[in-house]
A = this chain, B = another copy of it.
Amino acid sequence: MPRTAERLDEKIRARNIRIILDVATEVFSRKGFDGTRIAEIAELSKLPKANIYYYFSSKQEIYSTIIAHLIAGWDDALSKLRADRDPADALRDYVRAKLEYTRGNPRESRLFASEIIQGARFLSESDRAHMRAATDKYVAVLDQWMQEGRMVTINARHFFIMLWGATQFYSDFEPLACDALHRKTISAEDYHVAAETIVNSIVGGVIPSCSTDKLL
């Protein structure tokens, strides 16, 4: 049955792979690559350890699969930044989209952060090139806004780093965010206020309507 049986074959296969990757994402995001034991993934998956190795040939293959998969999810928020849009609107949508993504995918976000902290050992060169290209593309959008006088002249690359860092914080460093906000958990409303605060602070300082170019 090489062809016709694909549907149900894939159902069992797909289901188990999904469960394994789902659980592995959680564990890897908490323990990092070296700290993760596949026995723990097996337990939480309710599968015997050997069954994990039926679907994946090694711990690194599981890890790399997850990394490759989540890279694909990063571009959406950045797509809000188009040169023909109003800078303030575009940046507001970007910050909101970025926070929305990190809120909806905290484990993926944390796993990525963990991978970077550990030296980006398993982030492929093509993935990094992809991210560099994406950054360059949107840096160009900001630079165009600056040339058109629609935005204060700043270093666009550092500006992106600032936005990235500010938005990542809520899921990656959730315990700290909870402490800072006096919360047990970060609610959707908190994410909303976060977006408002970031946007009100940053956009107000970036948009030339208040001409703070030479404030310092």
A interface vs B, CB < 8 Å? Answer: 29-36, 88, 92, 110, 113-114, 116-120, 123, 128, 131-132, 135, 152, 154-155, 157-162, 164-170, 172-177, 179-182, 193-194, 196-207, 209-212, 215-216
* Stoichiometry (number of copies): 2
Given A116-B173, A201-B154, does the pair A31, B34 have CB atoms closer than 8 Å?
A: yes
Residues of B within 8 A of A116 (CB): 172-176
Report the Cα distance A118→B31, complex, angstroms.
Answer: 6
Looking at the assembled complex, report how far the CB atom of A172 sits from the nearest CB atom of chain B, in whole angstroms. Answer: 6
Residues of B within 8 A of A157 (CB): 180-182
Residues of B within 8 A of A114 (CB): 32, 114, 117
Residues of B within 8 A of A180 (CB): 132, 135, 157, 160-161, 164
Q: Is the CB of B206 within 8 A of A123?
A: no
Q: Is the CB of B30 within 8 A of A33?
A: no
Q: B128, B152, B161, B199: which contacts A204 (Cβ < 8 A)?
A: B152
